Amino acid sequence: MKISIGSDHAGFRLKSALVDFLRAERHEVLDRGTDSEVSVDYPDFAHLVATDVEKGDARFGVLVCASGIGISIAANKKPGIRAAVCMNEDMAEFCRHHNDANVICFGQKYTTPDMAKKYLKIFLAAEFDGGRHERRIKKLEC
């Protein structure tokens, strides 16, 4: 599976660990940066990853900043993007089952690499339930 990933400086270490994890799991990774802990603006990286998902160049996106919140807000500005901050296993599973999330977001400040790997694995394996949830997803489109 092709996955686009990006972070700002405050998520760089966790993003790097997730890139290694995804490659070890034999996923094709589009690493959209950043490449260090030098201060950058999270919307730039959210836009790159969201565009990959929006255009179909990647099946899913992964974004990391300090809290996961700012980068998720930026990604959700793109049409067709449903970015969810996940801080536990249930959130990682149900954002796919009920919301058909296509971008998972993490906060490096709150999520260890082991936790993020577990949540990401759950996210990638989960399927959208459709049904009544499909109706709700359609209402998100403006």
Strand order in the sheet with 60-65: 28-31, 2-7, 60-65, 103-107, 83-85
Is residue 98 flagged as an active site residue?
yes
Q: What is the separation, in whole angstroms, between the first and last Cα of the chain?
A: 29
Q: Which of 47, 65, 86, 105 is catalytic?
A: 65
Is 22 strand, coil or helix?
A: helix
Which structure tokens are listed for 42? 């999270």
Residues known to be catalytic: 65, 98
